[in-house]
A and B are shown apart, each in its own frame.
Chain A
Amino acid sequence: MTPDTLSALALSIRVALVATLLNAVVGIPLAYVLARRRFRGRGLVDLLVTLPLVLPPTVTGYYLIVLLGRRGWLGGPLYTLTGWSITFTWYAAVVAATVMALPLLVRTARAAIESVDRDLERAAFTLGRPEWRTAIEVTLPLARNGILAGLVLAFARALGEFGATLMLAGNIPGRTTTVPLAIYTAVQTGESGDALVLVAALTALSCVVLVAAGRLGARAT
């Protein structure tokens, strides 16, 4: 394996892990709120979270540039203030992977939370637990397998992200070239040996992930 191949693998795993962590932090509370609360704008939040699942990844990537790019809604002021922009850094790859993976976690976790018998939560309320404690002690533990399955799927999605990453982070070898981008580059430049190693690595990882998610999903119901 060439140094570039190795660094692509290392970067991909790092990006996927961080993106999965962010997914857990953002996605689990989001899934809980969508499953258990009725509030204004709930439909809109649901739509925004789910959209990356159906949009072409390049379109999602385009929106991310509009939002975070050097002249973006958030990225613009940030650049003016600090002279730093997230685009073409590995953070950008993390953001792209997080956004793309979020709907998978939120949808899976939400379904698992919704399937928890509400009487269990009501019982906890009558026994003195406020809602947030009930969520931690009752709802989330009982939805655990569904949530884990969602995290596994999110990790897999983050690992394989291509389009949105390319748009926001670019394809800079050693800095933002993740495995899918490296495969694309290798094939384009005719270095099929490198490509083959990475293809095999990603395929094997995806198989492991799918089996794991399947097992967790089967136990969740």
Chain B
Amino acid sequence: MKDGEGGERLEVSIVVSLPGFALDVAWTAGDGVAVLFGPSGAGKTLTLQCLAGLMRPAHGRIVVDGRVFFDSASGVDLPPQQRRVGYVFQGYALFPHLTVADNVAFGLRDRPRAARARRAAEVIERLGLGGLERRYPRELSGGQRQRVALGRALAIDPALLLLDEPLSALDAPTRRELRDELRALLTDVGTAAVVVTHDFTEAYRLADRIVVYRDGRVIQAAPRAELLWRPASEDVARIMGIRNIFHGTVLKATPDRIQLRWRGQMLEAVNSPTRAYLPPPGGPIAFFIRPEYVRLIRKDRGAPDPGHHMNLMSGTVVSQADFGTMWTLAIRLDEPGPPAQGEYDLEVEVPRLVHEILELDRDRHWQLSIHRGSIHVLPA
């Protein structure tokens, strides 16, 4: 299920103009799950509606597994009834006047009665809804409703599965459980799927490929690991909720390394070997440091070794927050001038055990080091 393996199954290139909003996106996806990720109002749901034929783009082209759904150039526009797309709506849109069994069988009308019943029973069984056939949607829990919505969409053997915020209606524990269940189901079914979410953890858990939306545009489309480790721009990093995004000055950029100055420090970062970014010296540069990749240097192990500890700096913990399994420290560097993030410069995350061993409650002043591979440069 690697990206690109077996070619692209889904080609989307659409322009939609609505009063006060314009969508102009182009992306492709291979096997597996593509997640449209971004803040609400970015055009993710609108894209799903175009894929399903519920909204007509001004122009563009939509191809699913070689079937042209929409092509403004040749005037093709399949109605939703002919696209065979399984759509799980936000809030599920179950028919409240029909039972679970009738909801699941709703799309099977054209099949003979026996085949219809067999298929519905099969789907109900597979989704663990056995025994609930005669219940009405209002008599189900949130998780059960989600499964009925999935079952109704899967029953028609869809060419493409669309899920709009499939987990947002659930409470936190159910949500985590169903997230992993959903991932397993999507992998198992093997239908090309597009999932919309504004939650990055959810996007990362469900996706093979993530398409990042903002203001009606795609700002990055990449396999999920690539997105996580190499966001293409500061915009993408901010939408992903990445912390410690800073602005510095370029000292020197080579295809291997980028040296930069920030808060009186000289920092060295690894340049991307495949996509080297070579900004001119003296120019501005954005970068981020992952809070969980900052090292606190133990004081009982002798002086720090510059050969081993890169990007050495020192600072004081000005505040800390307990997140249960982790602590987040706000550290202010020992440098004159205003800190980068209000009261502090760096957010650093340490596991609870480390917090206890280092006696961070008592000891506030620390030397820090950041491996050059953990400073991520964000191309402008």
Bound Cα distance A123, B95 (Å): 9
User: Interface residues of A: mostly helix, strand, loop or mixed?
Assistant: helix
Q: In the complex, what's the smallest C-beta–C-beta distance from A57 to chain B, in angstroms?
A: 38
Q: Of A120, A125, A142, which one neighbours B81 at CB under 8 angstroms?
A: A125
Bound Cα distance A141, B97 (Å): 8
Bound Cα distance A117, B156 (Å): 22
Q: Answer yes or no: A129 CB below 8 A from chain B CBs.
A: yes
The answer to whether B107 touches A120, judged by C-beta atoms less than 8 angstroms apart, is: no
- Collect the chain A residues with CB atoms within 8 Å of residue B283's CB: none
8 A Cβ contacts from A115-155 to B: 117, 119-120, 122-130, 138, 141-142
Nearest-neighbor residue (CB-CB) of A119 within chain B: B93
- Collect the chain B residues with CB atoms within 8 Å of residue A124's CB: 95, 106
Q: Answer yes or no: B284 CB below 8 A from chain A CBs.
A: no
Pick from A117, A123, A142 the residue with the most CB of B within 10 Å: A123
Q: Answer yes or no: B200 CB below 8 A from chain A CBs.
A: no
The answer to whether B80 touches A125, judged by C-beta atoms less than 8 angstroms apart, is: yes
- Collect the chain A residues with CB atoms within 8 Å of residue B106's CB: 124, 127
Pick from B90, B96, B156 the residue with the most CB of A within 10 Å: B96
Bound Cα distance A76, B162 (Å): 59
State whether A128 and B54 are in contact (beta carbons under 8 Å apart), knowing that A120-B95, A141-B97 are contacts in the complex: no
Give a binary string over A72-109; 1 marks a CB under 8 Å from any B CB, 0 the rest. Answer: 00000000000000000000000000000000000000
24 contacts across the A-B interface (CB closer than 8 A): A119-B89, A119-B91, A119-B93, A120-B93, A122-B52, A122-B87, A122-B89, A122-B93, A123-B93, A125-B52, A125-B54, A125-B80, A126-B81, A126-B83, A126-B85, A126-B87, A126-B153, A128-B81, A128-B110, A129-B109, A130-B81, A138-B95, A142-B96, A142-B97
The chain B residues found within 8 Å of chain A, CB to CB, are: 49, 52-54, 79-81, 83, 85-87, 89-91, 93, 95-97, 106-107, 109-110, 152-153, 156
